[in-house]
Amino acid sequence: MSNISEALYNMRFMDDLARRNTLVHRLHPLAKLASTLAFLAAVVSVERYEISGLLPFFFYPVIVFALAELPIKPMVKRILMVEPFIIGIGILNPLFDQHIVMLGGVAVSRGWITFLSIFIKCGLTVAAALILLATTGMDRLASALRMLGIPKLFVLQLTLTYRYISVLLEEVGRILNAYALRAPGQKGIHWKSWGSLAGQLILRTFERAQSVYGAMCLRGFDGEYRTGDGQRFCTTDLAYMAVWVMFFIIVRFVDIPGLLGLVVTGGIK
Amino acid sequence: MHMADALISPAVGGAMWAATSGVAAYSMKKIQVDLDEKKIPMMGVMGAFVFAAQMINFSIPGTGSSGHIGGGLLLAVLLGPQAGFLTMASILAIQALFFADGGLLAFGCNVFNLGFYTCFIAYPLIYKRLTRNGHSEKRIFAASLLSTLLGLQLGAFSVVLQTVFSGKTELPFGTFVMLMQPIHLAIGLVEGLVTAAVVAFVWKASPDILENVAKEKALGSISTRKVLTGLLIAVLLVGGVFSWFASANPDGLEWAMLKTAGTAELEATNKLHAVLSDIQSKTAFLPDYSFKASDSEEASAAGEEAWPVVNAGTSVSGILGGGLTLLAAALTGLTINMIKKRRKRAGFEC
């Protein structure tokens, strides 16, 4: 149950964020989608032994967070919630790669470096995906997909799934509540009810889909996906996209922290 | 079983995106040919159903634990393989976007691992075959259980391959396989039993749902072959192009070695390690990724040679530089925040 209310809350939270009106929110969804994909590609392509090359990429989430006025604490919490899975797989790296290297005078096993690299990459990539949704929203993201030539069938289906998730989550929540009240102290669904509990819901879902389809037809559904407002791709959007893509290319190929460190240590000398 | 972006390389991510797009394009074409318009809302609402139903805990008798449904096979059985695959893709897209469950670059991997094997391998090869001579409770049970098991085993193996080819973790192939397959056998057993119970119930209550889907023509053998060939070409092309771009880094190299020579991971990494430790013995620093402070200008001037990393990961200056970079990022964020706040306040005062 807590799972379901959590999921519902999560989706509504992201929807609320997407409805804000800031500089980043107003940008064309395509510009944001393209920047996000460029960011992901750049981050993922960084070598596994590299930590310093990853650090400049933090500029992207930090700046967009600030520009889009996203709340830091709940977003960071969501990012960290994904990390345990990565830790589960990555933690084995130090076990398998015990090659010792010197890091600023300290001996470190290479496995820890790759582990840290994976950990940071996970944080960055997850942040980028969440930022995209929190500043764009599902409907505008779908319109961007449509503009990219993703077939209407898929886009329509995606938005319908998204719309009905909250309805179905509430329904599942009610069913589980009713079940729990009739089977106190029982963990999960008894095997005798496995088929009937989920099966009943399927039958009901099928009926619901038919009435949804009927309602859509009555409102003139002809298989086309319509978004309503056709936002134009203007210079600001192009500039936003170009600046970020340039930035990602630069930090991917030029070692900024390394140069910065040299400047500083040189200065100290 | 969702793959994260942090675990895959661009070559693997790109190749799997290509493969998934290929299957999706084929599925859409197939659905549009025998378009049953009703199917679109049906797919949407059923996608939402699977999403919600994944949160139901089914307790496993005799143990304290519980399992849940996966959804891939259930969707194939209820909607047909093509619609099932597309529905699975949209569920995974929403999970990736809203819950960061599985990354955007890894989206292709995830759709393939969870959707392709269940809808296009397990469903036609096992489920359809076993229920070919009509449905019965026993047949539905066996078919659902076996197909779910197979689908999950293939998916788990695919996760292993994608992870190993990406080379982000040090897990040797053998160990990873030994870890993944048995776990997913257990998971698959529970998932399979739940799926079987659900499908059997739906069949008893409303047999027309299953029988309508079963009536649809199976994948024609020619088109399947075409699709598979197309897929293979796409995967090799994208993987090849990406790994060529990435050839300057060991990840790409390792991947290419595996791909072309088909050598086992262990052997490949051993070769790589030999090369690396050879260089390392000469430099006494992290091979490939470092330079002594005095060589720094040369190296950065050489640019090309030092690419992809003109790095500092090992030296003090690098650590210092890294710290400064993060500090600068944080300060930029704070400054933007302050400017925004000040502007807002000014706006109120006006």
pLDDT tens, position by position, B86-104: 999 999 999 898 888 888 9
Q: How far is B128 from chain A (nearest CA, A)?
A: 20
pLDDT band at B137 (very low <50, low <70, confident <90, very high): confident
What is the predicted pLDDT for the residue at A104? 65
What is the predicted pLDDT for the residue at B37? 64
In the predicted model, residues of chain A with pLDDT beneath 50 are 1, 268-269
DSSP class of residue B218 equals P
pLDDT band at B42 (very low <50, low <70, confident <90, very high): confident
Q: How far is A124 from chain B (nearest CA, A)?
A: 9
DSSP class of residue B232 equals H
Once rounded to an integer, what is the mean pLDDT over residues B313-328? Answer: 71
pTM for this prediction = 0.79
Inter-residue contact B91 to A161 (CB < 8 Å): yes
Tokens of A250: 């630069």
What is the predicted pLDDT for the residue at A269? 46
pLDDT band at B244 (very low <50, low <70, confident <90, very high): low
CATH code 1.10.1760.20 for B5-248: yes
Q: Where in chain B are the domains?
A: 5-248, 250-283
d(CA B6, CA B348): 44
User: In whole angstroms, how far apart are CA B294 and each of B297, B301, B309, B312?
Assistant: 7, 13, 17, 12
Once rounded to an integer, what is the mean pLDDT over residues B257-273? Answer: 41
Nearest to B325 among A103, A128, A256 (CB): A256
User: Does the pLDDT of residue B116 top 80, yes or no?
Assistant: yes
Kindly determine whether residue B311 and residue A258, on different chains, have CB atoms separated by under 8 Å.
yes
Between B160 and B253, residue with greater pLDDT: B160
- Helix count (H) and strand count (E) of chain A? 12, 2
Q: Which residue carries 């306040």 as its tokens?
A: B345
Q: Which residues in chain A have their CB less than 8 angstroms from residue B288's CB?
A: 49
User: Does the pLDDT of residue B294 top 60, yes or no?
Assistant: no
Once rounded to an integer, what is the mean pLDDT over residues B238-257? Answer: 48
User: Does the pLDDT of residue B338 top 50, yes or no?
Assistant: yes
d(CA A201, CA A179): 13
Inter-residue contact B103 to B198 (CB < 8 Å): no
What is the predicted pLDDT for the residue at B239? 66
Is residue A71 left, alpha or beta, with left meaning phi > 0 and alpha meaning psi from -120 to 50? Answer: beta
User: Does the pLDDT of residue B287 top 50, yes or no?
Assistant: no
pLDDT in tens, B220-229: 444 556 666 6
Q: H or E element: which one contains A109?
A: strand A106-109
What is the predicted pLDDT for the residue at B266? 36
**What is the predicted ipTM?**
0.86
User: Does the pLDDT of residue B174 top 70, yes or no?
Assistant: yes
DSSP letters spanning B287-345? TTT---GGGHHHHHHHTTTTTT----TTSHHHHHHHHHHHHHHHHHHHHHHHHHHHHHH
Kindly determine whether residue B97 and residue A138, on different chains, have CB atoms separated by under 8 Å.
yes
Burial call B312-339: b when 16+ CB within 10 Å, e when fewer: bbbbebbbbbbbbbbebbeeebeebeee
